[in-house]
Structure 1
Amino acid sequence: MGPFLYFALSIIQLSSIFASEQIPLKCFLQDYNFFNIFDTSAVKTSSEVVPKTHSLHFDTVTVNSAGFDKDGWKHDATNIKYQGLDDAILDDFGFNFTAKVLQLTFHTDMVVTYDYKSSGSLFSTPMDGEGFAEVSLKNIQVSFTMPFDIKEDNAKKYIELKSFNYWYDIKDNAELKFSSLTNANKVLSNSIEQQINQRWKYITAHFGKVFYDSLAEEIFNVLKNYVKNFPLKSFGEC
């Protein structure tokens, strides 16, 4: 069976699964073996410890820092923690071996926490505060497009992800909570936070991308390190 026919049949098989149930992203990565294209019985010869197929998971993703200085609002965040990736649901997945591109789309609820310092102004209101922030995202969809190369090592071929582009869309709601956005005036701080939550779509789209850039980089690195450990099956031997 040729590799492209095998790939097409794999998509048909997976499509029937999608029609009957939602597939958690972590379960797909663990059990579906990317349409069964990898030879998981053989891993790259290396002194490094190679993860087993059932070991890939994200847990809490931590990023040291991120921030922005935009339209008069300066916001610096540290110790950023993203929770919810292990509950992500797969929406779309596919390899294009002609264009050498991997496509991955999933959605999940996510909670992002971090320490912050905030200054400047927002909605014509001055800000000068610091503290702890919690951002709850309901139904955030993330999609990756990742070009790759096929590398050969010891007569086996491996996928090497080269880079990525991504987009995100918070579909349902975002709730942002801050300890204080104006340290000297709690009432004013609460008023700014209320306005932020009333305009959450604008806030997350206009100011939030730097936070998702950091998360996307972490997700890409996990996937890149994962797939490079498993050689492709030799379809000529099928």
Structure 2
Amino acid sequence: MDLNLYFVLGLFQLSSVLATGQIPLKCFLKDFNFFNVLGETSCNEVPKANSLHFGTLLVNSTGFNIDGWIFEAKNVKYNGLDDAVLDEFGFNFSAKVLQLTFHTDMVVKCDYKSTGFLHSLPVNGEGFTEVTLKNLQMGYSIPFDIKEADGKNFIELKSFDNWYNIKDKTEFKFTSLTNKNKGLGDEVHQLMNQKWRYFTAHYGKNFMESLSEKIFSVFKNYVKPLSLKDFAEC
């Protein structure tokens, strides 16, 4: 290991978990210098061409079969990550773990087919749904290795553990969850939106796991071509 790499690793170790204030998540690599003090960032400038970009994350299908309610979702679209705010970011080179946390408002849309019962209420129908997650907070713990290629050292992300919390509110909207029975549909919507925390936690696990895997995949592909020198000079 050369002296330059020792220097870079030392700086990263000292700034293991860096609170970043209101730094956009999409700027946190190429448009943010980890070694500057809080607030000294180029994120207010025009983002560079290779800044992190999520766009709409698409999952072909997911769903659940829980407590007599079978819900099949297709063409699941997650929007909101390009407006996410970075809360913490840091490498721990002793443990070889990257820590990342951020928050955002997210809108999830999909086509669905529903059968069964929700708290004794029949939920048989198909259509389109939109779910808004207000102040979604997500955190990642990502083990990594350091690989050498072409005389440079690269970070290779291996897997991830993560957590999430919807801090403010979840809003559910279904076009036809009860075979166009408006009265029953209103009752179901009212129940779900009043008890949003329970319904999100109880029925939303597969949706959030799909989202977490997509985020990790985008992040892993973005970091892959960046050497440790790129991190130090960003």
Please report how far the alpha carbon of residue 34 of structure 1 lies from its aligned counterpart in structure 2 after TM superposition: 5.6
Q: TM-score, normalised by structure 2?
A: 0.85
**Residue 112 of structure 2 aligns with which residue?**
116
Q: Which whole-Å deviations, capped at 9, do the CAs of 1:156-207 have from their partners, x for residues lacking one?
A: 1111111111111000001000011110522112211110111000000111
Please report how far the alpha carbon of residue 33 of structure 1 lies from its aligned counterpart in structure 2 after TM superposition: 5.6
Q: Secondary structure at the match of 1:221?
A: helix
| 1:151–1:33 distance in 2 versus 1, CA, 3 Å | farther
Q: 1:199 aligns with which of 190, 195, 200?
A: 195
Q: 1:131 aligns with which of 116, 127, 130?
A: 127
Q: Which whole-Å deviations, capped at 9, do the CAs of 1:81-132 have from their partners, x for residues lacking one?
A: 1111000001111111111111110000011110000111111112211100
Is 1:144 the equivalent of 2:144? no
Q: 1:6 aligns with which of 5, 11, 19?
A: 11
| 1:10–1:99 distance in 2 versus 1, CA, 3 Å | closer
Alignment of 1:11-90 (within 5 A): 15=19, 18=20, 21-32=21-32, 54-90=50-86
| 1:200–1:132 distance in 2 versus 1, CA, 3 Å | same
Distance 1:140 1:187 in 2: 31
The one-letter amino acid of 2:11's match is Y
Is residue 31–residue 54 contact of structure 1 (8 Å, CA) maintained in 2? Answer: no
Distance 1:22 1:72 in 2: 43
Q: 1:225 aligns with which of 216, 221, 224?
A: 221
Q: Secondary structure at the match of 1:54?
A: coil
Is 1:101 the equivalent of 2:97? yes
Distance 1:99 1:111 in 2: 35
The one-letter amino acid of 2:27's match is C
Distance 1:31 1:85 in 2: 17
Is residue 30–residue 53 contact of structure 1 (8 Å, CA) maintained in 2? Answer: no
Q: TM-score, normalised by structure 1?
A: 0.83
Distance 1:213 1:124 in 2: 27
The one-letter amino acid of 1:178's match is F
% identical equivalent positions: 61
How many residues align structurally?
215
Is 1:190 the equivalent of 2:186? yes
Is residue 143–residue 167 contact of structure 1 (8 Å, CA) maintained in 2? Answer: yes
**Residue 173 of structure 1 aligns with which residue?**
169
**Residue 209 of structure 2 aligns with which residue?**
213
The gaps in structure 2 that reach 5 residues or longer are 1-5, 37-47
The one-letter amino acid of 1:31's match is D
CA RMSD of aligned residues (A): 2.2
**Residue 44 of structure 2 aligns with which residue?**
none
The structure with the largest helix share of the pair is 1
The gaps in structure 1 that reach 5 residues or longer are 37-51
The one-letter amino acid of 2:28's match is F
| Runs of 4+ off more than 4 Å | 8-12, 33-36
